[in-house]
Amino acid sequence: MRDNTRFQVRALAAAALVCAAAGAVAQVSSATVRGVVRAEGQPRAQVTVTATRVATGQATRTTSRSDGSYVLTGLGPGEYRIEARGEGFPGTVQQVELRVGQVLALDLGPTAQSQVSLQAVVVTGSRLVDNKTSEVGTYVTPRQMERLPQVTRNFLSFAELAPGVSFTTADEGSTRLQGGAQRSSGVNVFIDGVSQKNYVTQGGISGQDSSRGNPFPQSAISEYQVLTQNYKAEYDQVTSAAISAVTKSGTNRFQGEVFVDHTRGSWRASTPPEKKSGEKVDSRQTQYGLTLGGPIVKDKLHYFMAYERKDNRDPQTVEVGAGRSLADLPRQYHGLVGPVSVPFKEDLLFAKLDWALDDAQQVELSFKYRDERETTNLKQQNSEPWSTHKNNDETRLALKHQYTADAWVNEARLSYERSYWNPVAAHRGPGFHFTTRSLNDQGEFTNEQSVLNVGGGEDYQRKGQKGWALQDDLTLTDLQGHGRHVVKMGVKLKSIEVDAREQQPYNPQYYIDVANGDPNPYKLKAGTVLPGSANGGARSRNTQIGVYVQDDWDLNAHLTLNLGMRYDYERSPSYLKYRTPDAVVQALTRGEYAEALRRGGVDVNDYISDGRERKPFKKAFQPRLGFSWDLDADQRQVIYGGYGRAYDRNLFDWLQLERTKGSFPTREVLFGPGEWNDSYLTPEGLAGLIGTQSKPEIVLMNNKLKVPHSDQFSLGFRKALGQWSTDIGLSHVRSKNGFAFLLGNRRPDGRFFAPGTSWGAPFGHQPASYGSVLLGTSGLESRTTALYVQAQKPYTRLSGWGLTLAYTYSRAKENRDFEQHYALDYPDLKGYGWKPSSAVSKHKLVAALIRDLPWWGLEGSVRLSYASGRPQYYVNETRGANHFFIDQFKRGSTRQVDVALGKEFPVREGVKLRLRADVLNLFNARNYHLYKTSQAEFGRPDGSLSGPPRTVKLSLGASW
């Protein structure tokens, strides 16, 4: 079997090299123009069709076929001059503006007639959707990014203009992009065709796990496309929303821009905790940056660079929890409670060279650097000493070569990435948790609630990824057959080292019950390095291979089929070759506890490995099928739909716990009356204590762990109404095999719950000399059915306004809270039952208006968002202590109106000064993030907000 696996890997690698030698291009980062050249109503062959990018002078050429058809592909988004010239053919010129991923149908003739309505698609300077695509999504244009108000310069915040996509800001300022009811880890972002996937931690995008930062300088993004369904086979490692962005390039003119955005505490309304305390934090947010671009050799070699800096001090509040007061705490900690200012700093740099070697070849080299420093975990019951200092660093290099021939186009990429996420405790020393707790009928502690955390925190993590990728794609544009085919095929070979080191808790943690009057700790948690172990670290050199083929087939002027198939394979030695320690095997397979597991229906043989049982997942075949029916062959009325399967990855952050928990075990000690000794606060006393009471946790992974995937179905109708493009559709998405940890503990009789009870996980029942048993498995699911409506009128200088509307009605369910990967309350996921998704609002409306105002040359914009209340999970205690259960209640709806007003002032020829004011959350809506669940305050907001209170932000910029 091992020889067979090695043969498969080598065969796939050989296929990758063969495809790389063949050459190609995909639509992830480029556009295509296709059509027929005609004169006097007849197709004309051997006519040269040239697409010249207006800004750079770079040209791409092809020749019309025997049937008059032509295809120009591999075109970066922007304004182009399309020329058709040939012997005996009257020349024709058409100027169009292309978008990333767009396939534009454009027939060429002496009268410059287009197959489609010029007003609908090919108006110079206008950018509308490609109505004939089967993909579901939208475009975000440069004009929208420049003029719409936004809280932060995160270019992904505009992705909400696509139905079914959410961009949320947590109360501490971190952001998350999410598609439907799926985890944010299912998202993928492609920048210039290169995946930014995070393989280790959550967030979907590298560096976005709980970060207040931006993944890329917004000033470097030209435009992007948001796809939520029916993406083609080129898109990999994504199960929900896919973002395809293209960066700016230098032009034949030297151009630049500087900007600064600023807001401060006195320019915003008070947060609910500030208003309650009567004290306002002196917070601030400052962002500034510079872009430069221009020619090195006119029409040949250009450069572009962008730098952005963010320097924030964001407001938070430390407060006493569990309904207690400062009087319950030692006096020396009283000063830690109240409003605080939380720092964050980020530097982003992007640089790019693009070189047209000749009419057939183009080379592009780009570099990205990201550096973040911030304080986190400073809010609610976490005081400043107990907070976390976090570093977030990322470096990426990408080299692309494109070769354009008459019948095919080649695009080859070589890329390198290095991204590390490193949160550590802000202070060294023991940490103290002041809590309240209660006992159940079996004498077990339950309902432990935090009052205040002080001293040294728990956190120490260093997690990241680094490695190389070779990616190559081939587009064949001259295939004969019934109708016209554009066939793309490609391969990606990636060698990526995933790395995780975790020591939790880094500082020993002592728990003190403020309600029982005993000042001594009742519990201790501490972690220690196991002698001769990996010191809490795990590393794996993973090999990823992906291959695909995609046929975009125009059968006739009405019907287009998009037929694709993708296959992905990954080999992760850290998981595949893991050998369960002999001592763990004996603890789980021998003696009384093994009998308890057997009675409880837990087959530990599914999780015990000798390093040979586990095989790579080999079933990641992903059909991507779509169609569009153009009723009148003019793109004004189009029926479209499709089905697709897409696979993602299991995060290494979860898989690595099987190794790291065994090398840095957590020890927990409970102290009975009179058992506490102050010497346990010293390193010597602590070492002696935990050395005699060692109970490391056991974490095991299922030997047949599956890979999460989603099945997507859609059917819709698009209609062009003058300058408006409208879209109404129905979609259904089922995601399966999400990762979760189950609790493997069982009572002596095999039960999970004590007799006569339905609550109370058996945490006190585990193998001798060990802590709890956690079993990693596949099983999280979600189901979403949505009706979406879009209407877009693009901005043009002639009309002076543009409007985008997106409404989504969703019915989504999940079998576990989508934000949780621990499911320890019941013996299996069935105990949670199917409930409405906590991630999806039933109703969501987003509107964005850009308007040139009739006074003094002012430019205005408005952005409105509304979402009905989402469910929040909580533990329902109404049936008594032994019969708690997981329940939901509905949170309040969220609404926000942002406005911006700006003006440009010509300083001299080619130089402009820009002033702008944004008012975020104009009506100061209280969009609460979480609600309290204690019986005394059930359903009341906890004061945390999703998004800002009313805030005024001023911007100053200059461009030339």
Residue 208 neighbours by CB under 8 Å, 6+ apart: 175, 176, 177, 184, 198, 215
Inter-residue contact 834 to 856 (CB < 8 Å): no
- Statement to judge: residues 204 and 324 lie in one domain: no
Write the single-letter amino acid at 330: P
CA nearest to 492, candidates 239, 226, 233:
233
Rounded (10°) angle between helices 582-589 and 591-599 = 60
pLDDT attached to residue 123:
34
* Of 527, 826, 925, 830, the residue nearest 695 (C-alpha): 527
Together in a domain, 614 and 721? yes
Answer yes or no: is 65 within a domain.
yes
The residue among 70, 95, 130 that closes a domain is: 130
Verify that 954 and 918 share a domain, yes or no.
Answer: yes
Using DSSP, state whether 326 is helix, strand or coil: helix
R_g of the chain, CA atoms, integer Å = 30
Q: Which amino acid appears at position 505 of this protein?
A: P
94-to-100, 277, 483, 862 alpha-carbon distances in Å: 19, 64, 25, 34
Question: 54 in helix, strand or coil?
Answer: coil
Residues 6+ apart with CB under 8 A from 619: none
The tokens 């934000």 sit on which residue? 819
List b or e across 432-465, with b for residues whose CB sees 16 or more CB atoms inside 10 angstroms. Answer: bbbbbbeebeeeebbeeebbbbbbbbbbbbbbbb
11 in a structural domain: no
Distance of CA 642 to the CA centre of its chain: 24
CA-based angle 378:381:387, to the nearest 5? Answer: 30
CA angle 35, 36, 38 (to 5 degrees): 150
Judgement on whether residues 231 and 265 belong to the same structural domain of the protein: no
Sheet of 103-105: strand order equals: 69-75, 31-36, 103-105
pLDDT at 407: 87
| Coarse DSSP helix, strand, coil percentages of the chain, rounded to the nearest 5 percent | 10, 50, 40
What 3-state DSSP class applies to 57?
coil
Q: Which domain holds residue 147?
A: 137-247
Clarify whether residues 410 and 537 are in a common domain: yes
Is 14 within a domain?
no
Torsion angles phi and psi, residue 891, rounded to 5: -75, 170
In our burial notation (b when 16+ CB lie closer than 10 A, e otherwise), range 291-308 reads bbbebeeeebbbbbbbbb
Torsion angle of alpha carbons 549, 552, 555, 561, nearest 10°? 90
Question: Bridge-partner residues for 382, per DSSP?
Answer: 379, 453
Low-confidence ranges of the chain (pLDDT < 50): 1-5, 7-26, 112-129
3-class SS at 368? strand
Phi, psi dihedral angles at 733 (to 5 degrees): -130, 130
DSSP string, 93-155: EEEEEE-TT-EEE--B-TT---SS-TTTT--TT-----TT---EEEEE-HHHHHHS--SSS-G
What is the SS3 assignment for 219? helix
Same domain, 171 and 117: no
* Helical (H) or strand (E) element with 686: helix 683-692
Task: Please tell me the distance from the alpha carbon of residue 165 to that of residue 44, in angstroms, as a whole number.
Answer: 45
24 belongs to a structural domain: no
Nearest-angstrom CA–CA distance, 803 and 847: 7
Residues 213 and 241 in one domain: yes
* Whether residue 81 sits in one domain with residue 174: no
Q: How many domains does the chain have?
A: 3
**Is 22 within a domain?**
no
> How far, in Å, CA of 760 to CA of 884, rounded?
8
Cα 456 to its chain centre, rounded Å, is 31
pLDDT at 693: 57
Q: Has residue 7 been placed in a domain?
A: no
Among 259, 188, 258, 250, which residue's Cα sits nearest to residue 222? 250
Return the pLDDT at 111.
54
Long-range contacts of 479-484, Cβ-Cβ distance < 8 Å, separation of 24 or more? 482/555, 483/553, 483/554, 483/555, 483/556, 484/34, 484/67, 484/69, 484/553, 484/554
Shortest CA distance to 781 belongs to which of 812, 827, 825?
812
In a domain, 6, yes or no: no
Q: Which residues contact 929 (CB under 8 A, 6 or more apart)?
A: 170, 171, 942, 944, 945, 946
Q: Look at residue 21 and give its three-state secondary structure.
A: helix
Same domain, 416 and 565: yes
Give the chain's length: 960
15 found inside a domain? no
The whole-angstrom separation of Cα 433 and Cα 456 is 10
Does 906 sit behind a cis peptide bond, omega within 30 degrees of 0 on the bond before it?
no
Q: Which of 939, 5, 12, 63 is nearest to 544 (CA)?
A: 12
- Spatial CA neighbour of 42 closest among 82, 83, 90: 90
pLDDT of residue 19: 39
Sheet containing strand 136-140, strands side by side: 136-140, 221-229, 242-247, 188-191, 194-195
Which of 95, 130, 165 is a domain's end point?
130
User: 65: which 2 tokens?
Assistant: 């076929």
Asked whether 140 and 223 are in contact (CB, 8 A), the reply is yes
The pLDDT value recorded for residue 777 is 96
469 Cβ contact list (under 8 Å, min separation 6): 194, 195, 413, 414, 415, 416, 417, 492, 493, 494, 495, 496
Nearest to 190 by CA among 229, 163, 216: 216
Query: Which amino acid makes up residue 280?
Result: K
pLDDT of residue 540: 94
Q: Which amino acid is at 60?
A: T
Model pTM above 0.75: yes
177 in the same domain as 47: no
The answer to whether residues 664 and 530 touch, using CB atoms and an 8 Å cutoff, is: yes
pLDDT of residue 446: 65
Which tokens in the block code for residue 144? 């929208």
Dmax over CA atoms of the chain, in Å, equals 104
CATH number at residue 154: 2.170.130.10
Q: Answer whether 942's CB lies under 8 Å from 927's CB.
A: no
Are 113 and 166 in the same domain? no
- Tell me which residue has tokens 């550590």: 424
Same structural domain for residues 188 and 318? no
CB atoms within 10 A of CB 379: 21
Which of 130, 160, 194 terminates a domain? The answer is: 130
Question: Which single residue is written with the structure tokens 């001299």?
Answer: 908
* d(C-alpha 427, C-alpha 504), whole Å: 14
Which of 649, 646, 573, 651 has its CA nearest to residue 612? 573
pLDDT at residue 17 in the model: 39
SS3 of 104-121: the string is EECCECCCCCCCCCCCCC
Q: DSSP for 470-537?
A: EEEEEEEEEE-SSSEEEEEEEEEEEEEEEEEEE-SSSS-EEEEESSSS--S-SEEEEE-PPTTS-TTE
Q: Which helix (H) or strand (E) holds 4?
A: helix 2-22
Q: What is the CATH number of the domain that holds 373?
A: 2.40.170.20
Alpha-carbon span 542 to 84, nearest angstrom = 48
Rounded distance between C-alpha atoms, residue 602 and residue 890, angstroms = 35
